[in-house]
Amino acid sequence: MSSSKDADPSLGYLTRKDTEVKLPRPTRVKNKTPAPIQITAEQILREARERQEAEIRPPKQKITDPTELGEYRLRKRKEFEDLIRRVRWNVSVWIKYAQWEESQKDFKRARSVWERALEVDYKNHTLWLKYAEVEMKNKFINHARNVWDRAVTLLPRVDQLWYKYIHMEEVLGNVAGARQVFERWMKWMPDQQGWLSYIKFELRYNEIERARGIFERFVLCHPRVGAWIRYAKFEMKNGEVPRSRNVYERAVEKLADDEEAEQLFVAFAEFEERCKEAERARCIYKFALDHIPKARAEDLYRKFVAFEKQYGDREGIEDAIVGKRRFQYEDEVRKNPLNYDSWFDYIRLEESVGNKGRTREVYERAIANVPPAEEKRYWQRYIYLWINYALYEELDAGDMERTRDVYRECLNQIPHQKFSFAKVWLLAAQFEIRQLNLKGARQILGNAIGKAPKDKIFKKYIEIELQLGNIDRCRKLYEKYLEWSPENCYAWSKYAELERSLAETERARAIFELAIAQPALDMPELLWKAYIDFETAECEFEKARVLYERLLDRTKHLKVWISYAEFEATAIDESLELSEQEQKEQCIKRARRVFEEALNYFRSSAPDLKEERAMLLEKWLNLEASSGELGDVSLVQSKLPKKLKKRRQISTEDGSSRIEEFIDYLFPEETQTTNLKILEAAYKWKKQKLSSADD
């Protein structure tokens, strides 16, 4: 009962225990020391090879009589049939069976085996090939023809079957039959190689007209550049130049827009070169370069340059080289039309060639690429395209009307509400002045001031009117300038300078007064300096002093004090009836007074500005030293500070701190205070020490 329980249905009546593989127990190695004689792996392999038993081969059977032969054949057929029953879909077994029957010269049986094999897998073209080869080898031509005929009918897309069939007919000398097979094949529209094989077949028998007819059908079946080129070369090889040219022309009509059109044009041009038709070849190259996209025309350009170097004159060669560079620039501007540097390079190339039409065309294409955003930084490079265009029309082309139109269009294109370009306005006005059209220039500059007023425009407009001597216009322009920009110190100074040059002193003084009365100024120090220099130049020293005092009411900057003192040191009034010595004494006294006032201000009101105070004393010392006998250096030396080198801790951006050295100044009045503080600290320290000793 137990054995029936343990039995496994998949193992019959055997149990799991019966089927277990019993491996020998591994023996324990008692002595692990290395053997005295070591054996290499090579020795082990050699020994194994020597002890290997000879291969068991079946004995060769010798058949001596028909009975034995019959038995042998019967046994072999039974083996093959049994094998076929087991592996019916194995083609190699069928082939071996059929070939064995063939070796026994029993062709009927062999044929029967082939036919049975084809019933199993007729789509296997190897079976058809082997079957037909057997028939051909044994010179059963009609049988072979029958096999090929069935094969190509059932498998018309297997080119090898057609090739073998045609080859057999051709070897047999049946040219008409081979042609008939080719015709049957061509109805299936095979690939190019099939058509070319047919053409070569006809050419082998010198059937030129037939080959031409096949070429015509070939280019209709495969309308590709390669097919047309082969057709044209075939005609050229047969010396039919007009026919070859006709083929190329028909190909160009049909395939001018094809992706491989470049090859067609190159082949056509090279054909014309061989025919010594250089002008025709040049026309083909130029036509191709105009029609083929630049990205696909690299080889075409290279061939064209080589052609021009061989056949062209200097102008033609230069044109070809320019064409190659033109192609590169076209490619660049096609990829990125807003890359204005590429447009500049392209325009420079066209200008060097000197073709006005092409240059204008490139300029027009370039300026058509308006920047997408209305921001000045995007327009800065673009606007130079317009400027260059206008200068080209004026200087190179000599067309003044077109120049005027370019400037007008450019100014219309710029969004003046958001930003403008003073350079364009000024160039347009200067162009009109060169054309002696002063009214037009004034109109342009007037529009500029109205639409987009800028410093440059005002300055240039005033300069033009000043050169023409129109003072009233200059005054009006200055008024508009200051009305637009009342904080512009440069404009106020220049306006006053203009009036002074006209000896209008009161007007100039009035302008300066208006200027310094403005609530906001961009550079007030320059304006005050200009006003003071104006009064000094007019020898109005009292008025200059008043200005300095007014300026000191507004700012107590170190430079103002020094400038005031230097002014007093040099303010010699020649109208006074005093000697030069006395005048100098008074000047130095006044200068000392200014220095004293400045020193008192820095001592009392700005004690933290030690460096400025030290610089002021240094200037005073230099004045006293340079005044010779009139100077008194001792007045300043007693006030000079001591320079002390100190250290301080400063924090850096990353959060750490570092020690920095700096120069501090210790003035004489601060020395006493410092000494008192030191004594007080020492007394306090001693007191603390005594109290700790008592404890």
What percentage of the chain reaches a pLDDT higher than 90? 3
Side chain identity, residue 492: W
Q: If you average pLDDT over residues 170-195, what whole number do you get? A: 90
Is the pLDDT score of 555 beyond 80?
Answer: no
Q: If you average pLDDT over residues 69-81, what whole number do you get? A: 82
Answer for the pair 611, 603: CB distance below 8 angstroms, yes or no.
Answer: no
Residue 532 or residue 363, greater confidence: 363
The average confidence (pLDDT) of the chain is 79
What percentage of the chain reaches a pLDDT higher than 70? 84
Residue 534 or residue 248, greater confidence: 248
Q: Residues 561, 567, 569, 574: what is their CA dihedral angle, to the nearest 10 degrees?
A: -160
| Token code pair at residue 498 | 């203009």
Is the pLDDT score of 2 beyond 50?
Answer: no
Is the pLDDT score of 313 beyond 60?
Answer: no
Q: Identify the pLDDT of residue 61.
A: 73
Q: Identify the pLDDT of residue 197.
A: 92
Is the pLDDT score of 679 beyond 50?
Answer: yes
Q: Identify the pLDDT of residue 414.
A: 85
Taking the C-alpha atoms of residue 527 and residue 516, their distance in angstroms, rounded to an integer, is 7
Number of Cβ within 10 Å of residue 297's Cβ equals 24
**Residue the block writes with tokens 């025919």:** 275
Q: Identify the pLDDT of residue 315.
A: 52
Q: Identify the pLDDT of residue 508.
A: 77
Q: Identify the pLDDT of residue 578.
A: 63
Quick one: which of 505, 557, 548, 556 has its CA closest to 528? 548
Answer for the pair 230, 222: CB distance below 8 angstroms, yes or no.
Answer: no
Report the greatest alpha carbon distance in the chain: 169
Residue 669 or residue 657, greater confidence: 657
Is the pLDDT score of 3 beyond 50?
Answer: no
CA 268: distance to chain centroid? 36
248 burial (CB, 10 Å; 0-12 / 13-18 / 19+) is buried
Residue 209 or residue 113, greater confidence: 209
Q: If you average pLDDT over residues 327-353, what whole number do you get? A: 79
Taking the C-alpha atoms of residue 232 and residue 248, their distance in angstroms, rounded to an integer, is 6
Answer for the pair 467, 436: CB distance below 8 angstroms, yes or no.
Answer: no
DSSP-derived 3-state class of residue 666: strand
- Model confidence over 453-470: pLDDT tens digits? 888 888 888 888 888 887
Taking the C-alpha atoms of residue 617 and residue 599, their distance in angstroms, rounded to an integer, is 8
Q: How is residue 392 annotated by DSSP?
A: I
Per-residue pLDDT band at 1 (split at 50, 70, 90): very low
Answer for the pair 198, 186: CB distance below 8 angstroms, yes or no.
Answer: yes
Residue 576 or residue 177, greater confidence: 177
Question: Which residues neighbour 316 within 8 Å (Cβ) at sequence distance 6 or greater?
Answer: 282, 308
Taking the C-alpha atoms of residue 117 and residue 128, their distance in angstroms, rounded to an integer, is 10
DSSP-derived 3-state class of residue 665: strand
Is the pLDDT score of 29 beyond 80?
Answer: no
Q: Identify the pLDDT of residue 695.
A: 59
- Model confidence over 363-379: pLDDT tens digits? 888 888 888 888 888 88
Q: Identify the pLDDT of residue 4.
A: 46
- Model confidence over 405-446: pLDDT tens digits? 888 888 888 888 888 888 888 888 888 888 888 888 888 888
- Model confidence over 189-210: pLDDT tens digits? 898 899 999 999 998 988 889 9
Per-residue pLDDT band at 162 (split at 50, 70, 90): very high
Q: Which of 438-452, 557-571, 624-638 has the lowest mean pLDDT?
A: 624-638
- Model confidence over 240-272: pLDDT tens digits? 888 988 988 888 888 877 777 878 888 888 888
Answer for the pair 225, 261: CB distance below 8 angstroms, yes or no.
Answer: yes
Taking the C-alpha atoms of residue 329 and residue 336, their distance in angstroms, rounded to an integer, is 11
| Token code pair at residue 520 | 């906001």
Quick one: which of 266, 268, 269 has its CA closest to 298? 266
DSSP-derived 3-state class of residue 26: coil
Q: Identify the pLDDT of residue 297.
A: 67
Answer for the pair 625, 599: CB distance below 8 angstroms, yes or no.
Answer: no
Q: If you average pLDDT over residues 135-142, what whole number do you get? A: 88
